[in-house]
Amino acid sequence: MLYIKEMKEDDANVVVGEVNKANAEFYHAFERLSMEMMDKLWKHDDNVVCIHPGWDLFSGWLAIRESWITIFSNTEMMQFIITNTKVRIFDNNLAVVVCLENIETPVNGQVIKMGVIATNVFERNELNQWLLIHHHGSTVSNYIPPNISSQ
């Protein structure tokens, strides 16, 4: 689904491409367990929000940053395959991305596969960058990993 107010189709495709790139960079930072990359992707503001699966709500960049530090320091490795992505653009400065995070991570010597439905909200800043202002992940019950084969 895509909502873009008074934009030509070519312009809309460019904006969606920019948002998809920002979303991919978020998951790349997550896979790399990189706080440096994560710092560049989030708006540093008191009104940003993050909800990790099973965690409480974090509000404000400093609290969110601490949550990422905690996750990264307690995670050996995470691999994401992002599927079922839907992007909506509002007034050319706000974007909502809903996707399925197909995650593989080692836990106690075993590789665990899990699915998380995520909502990522991006805001375009004055430098024309799309920055995260909201991330919400909810674990999928009865998760079935996608049938994705290597080519």
Task: Give pLDDT tens digits for 17-35.
Answer: 999 999 999 999 999 999 9
User: What pTM, to 2 d.p., does this model score?
Assistant: 0.89
> Which regions of the chain does DSSP assign to beta strands (E)?
49-51, 57-59, 79-90, 94-107, 110-124, 130-139
- Averaged over 79-89, what is the pLDDT? 96
User: Mind spelling out the 3-state secondary structure of 79-96?
Assistant: EEEEEEEEEEEECCCEEE
What structural domains and CATH numbers belong to the chain? Answer: 9-139 (3.10.450.50)
Instruction: Answer whether 115's CB lies under 8 Å from 141's CB.
Output: no
Task: Give pLDDT tens digits for 93-142.
Answer: 999 999 999 999 998 889 999 999 999 999 999 999 999 999 999 999 98
| Torsion sign over Cα 110, 113, 117, 120 | positive
How would you label 2-40 residue by residue, b for 16+ Cβ within 10 Å and e otherwise? eebeebeeeebeebbebbbebbebbbebbeebeeeebee
Q: Which pLDDT does position 10 carry in this prediction?
A: 67
**pLDDT averaged over every residue in the chain:** 92
- Averaged over 52-70, what is the pLDDT? 97
Instruction: Answer whether 41's CB lies under 8 Å from 29's CB.
Output: yes
The count of other CB atoms within 10 Å of the CB of residue 138 is 14
